[in-house]
């Protein structure tokens, strides 16, 4: 979504209000332990894209719960923001924390071949032991 300084300021305001609504005013148990990670507001303030994070096993459950509560959340957000237009809300699951965890696990399990010294073409350098002549 295209952003300017005004829409970023409005996004910060919407993030604060939406976070409060999700934390205190929506009582769906499926929305427990859901974190609001970011909000984008369109330039004309008619559309909000909200990113939420949760446990990867609960993606489907949380998406369905947010769809069920979308009307109430939109109504509460419209009153809280006080803008002329009550923005349409689209929720998206933010998977960046899961991707970061996956990358961290991959970096921990480094194959032993990565520790082998390689030449400029990527081939392993073989260290031949030179035997000293015996006298």
- Angle at which helices 5-20 and 59-81 cross, to 10°: 110
What is the number of structural domains in the chain?
1
pLDDT tens digits for range 16-62: 999 999 989 888 888 888 889 999 998 888 999 999 998 888 899 99
pTM of the prediction?
Answer: 0.72
Residues 18, 21, 25: CA angle, nearest 5 degrees: 170
Question: Is 77 a member of any domain?
Answer: yes
Question: Is 55 a member of any domain?
Answer: yes
User: What does the pLDDT average to over 122-128?
Assistant: 77
Cβ-proximal residues to 66 (8 Å cutoff; 6+ apart), any chain: 31, 52, 73, 91
Q: Which domain holds residue 51?
A: 5-95
**Inter-CA distances, 39 with 11, 44, 47, 73, Å:** 6, 15, 10, 14
Question: Is 64 a member of any domain?
Answer: yes
Residue 43 CB-half CA count within 13 A = 5
pLDDT tens digits for range 71-117: 999 999 999 988 898 999 999 998 888 888 888 888 787 777 777 88
């Amino acid at each position: 979504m295209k952003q300017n300084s005004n829409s970023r300021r409005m996004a910060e305001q919407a993030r604060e209000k939406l976070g409060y609504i999700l934390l205190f005013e929506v009582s769906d148990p499926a929305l427990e332990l859901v974190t609001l990670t970011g909000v984008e507001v369109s330039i004309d303030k008619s559309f909000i894209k909200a990113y939420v994070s949760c446990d990867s096993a609960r993606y489907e459950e949380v998406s369905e719960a947010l769809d069920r509560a979308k009307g109430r959340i939109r109504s509460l957000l419209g009153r809280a923001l006080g803008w002329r237009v009550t923005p349409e809300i689209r929720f998206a699951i933010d998977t960046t924390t899961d991707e970061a965890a996956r990358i961290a696990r991959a970096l921990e399990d480094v194959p032993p071949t990565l520790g082998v010294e390689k030449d400029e073409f990527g081939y392993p350098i073989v260290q031949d032991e030179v035997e000293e002549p015996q006298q």
